[in-house]
Amino acid sequence: MVKSLKETLDMASSSSSTPLSKLKSLKIEGKLPDIRDLPFQWQRNLTSLEHLEIGDVDNLVIWFVDKFPSLQKVVIYGCDLKALP
């Protein structure tokens, strides 16, 4: 699942059309050992993201929501996030 998500977002980020720029809601959930933060290319292209939900991602260590200009709502649960800025 993580590999599929990463491949999809990487491919969409590198294409000339930017469907990610229209994405308004993203939910990442589950025991995903490789997710510590969101790669820069994803952050750069998720310009319309309004709702971000992250759950049960144990290795989440980097706070990155300030990178999304349209973000209105963030839900984080079950994560071992040590601190918020």
Q: What is the mean pLDDT of the chain?
A: 74
Is residue 71 a part of any domain in this protein?
yes
pLDDT at residue 18 is higher than 70: no
Q: Could you write out the DSSP letters of every residue in 7-75?
A: HHHHHHHHSSS-GGGG--EEEEES--TT-SS--HHHHHH-TT--EEEEES-TT-----GGG-TT--EEE
Is residue 84 a part of any domain in this protein?
no
Is residue 49 a part of any domain in this protein?
yes
The pLDDT of residue 50 is 94
Contact 51, 72 (CB under 8 A): yes
Q: Render pLDDT for 45-81 as a digit per residue (tens, 0 to 9).
A: 888 999 989 888 777 766 666 778 899 998 888 877 7
Lowest model confidence (mean pLDDT) among 5-14, 20-29, 57-66: 5-14
Is residue 63 a part of any domain in this protein?
yes
Mean pLDDT calculated for residue range 20-46: 76
Q: Which domain holds residue 20?
A: 2-77
Is residue 85 a part of any domain in this protein?
no
Contact 54, 75 (CB under 8 A): yes
Q: Enumerate the β-bridge partners of residue 26.
A: 52
Mean pLDDT calculated for residue range 21-34: 80
Is residue 82 a part of any domain in this protein?
no
Is residue 53 a part of any domain in this protein?
yes
